[in-house]
Amino acid sequence: MLLAKLMLDSKHTVILTGAGMSTESGLPDFRSVQTGLWQQKDPQRLASTHALQYHREDFISFYQYRIRTLRQCQPHAGHRILADWEARGLIQTVITQNVDGFHQQAGSRKVIELHGSLRTVRCARCNQSDESEAYLDDTFSCTCGGFLRPSVVLFGEALPAEAVEQAWRAAEQAKLFIVLGSSLQVSPANQLPLIAKRNGAQLVIVNLEPTELDEWADLVIQNRKIGDVLAETDRELERRI
């Protein structure tokens, strides 16, 4: 299998994961929510700084839904394979656009979260952090009196500068850059594969549907579950090592 060979030949492998990695755990993409509270409402508007300030009740309901749904899902085999590969030195960094914390839950340690985490909430005033279960307990106020909000990047906010800088550096250092389940439509994450490629890395894109960067890739795998691709690659690695 070519992916296994590319991994064995690489001295520095970086992974970028998108929503497709999470949906295989049964976690819905919030943008596609169509029923109940979300009928005729725009989830992007509900996940924005505008909603935080002017539509707080809907904002809270939206994130209670997301946190509750997250608690009903678990990392899948693909997450655990990536964690094992990290422990074995086969991959060096996981960059993720996801906010579910599944990589860390599966055992990955070197994870860069570009869009923050839904696992915690933080005070909009003093920045103190707490577990996101607070939202499920209808706790929305910090001890300082500030409003508790999920520790995710909202529409209208910039990505955390430190995470972006770390992701850029990882892409520049990569000898093999593997995209898993990202449509590569969201900036700046969609620039990372190009940065890696321009610095001499080989590029692999695993996604159900085509992406705009497929023409840059050395290997494109479509119409397959990420977990299946990783499991197959893992068996081939075991056979070769």
Does 79 participate in catalysis according to the annotation? no
Q: Mean pLDDT throughout 135-155?
A: 96
Calculate mean pLDDT across residues 123-143.
95
How high is the pLDDT of residue 42?
72
Q: Is residue 79 over pLDDT 80?
A: yes
Q: What is the pLDDT of residue 27?
A: 87
Which pLDDT value is given to residue 46? Answer: 87
The answer, yes or no, to whether residue 16 has pLDDT greater than 90, is: yes
Catalytic pick among 76, 79, 103, 115: 115
- The label of the residue with tokens 């915690």 reads 120
Residues 6+ apart with CB under 8 A from 227: 24, 76, 77, 78, 81
Cα–Cα distance, 230 to 225 (Å, whole number): 9
pLDDT at 36 (0 to 100): 39
Q: For 81-107, what is each residue's pLDDT tens digit?
A: 999 999 999 999 999 999 999 999 999
Tell me the pLDDT band of 28, cut-offs 50, 70 and 90.
Answer: confident
Query: Which range has the worst mean pLDDT, 50-54, 108-112, 167-171?
Result: 50-54
Encode pLDDT of 41-73 as tens digits. 676 678 999 999 999 999 999 999 999 999 999
Q: How far apart, in whole angstroms, are the C-alpha atoms of residue 64 and residue 188?
A: 28
CA distances from 100 to 41, 79, 117, 219, 235 (A): 23, 12, 6, 27, 27
- Residue 198 binned pLDDT confidence (cut-offs 50, 70, 90): very high
What residues contact residue 211 under an 8 Å CB cut-off, 6+ apart? 179, 182, 183, 184, 185, 205
13-38: average pLDDT? 76
The verdict on whether omega for the bond into residue 188 sits within 30 degrees of 0, i.e. cis, is yes
Does residue 29 or residue 188 have the better pLDDT?
A: 188
Question: What pLDDT band is residue 40 in, cutting at 50, 70 and 90?
Answer: low
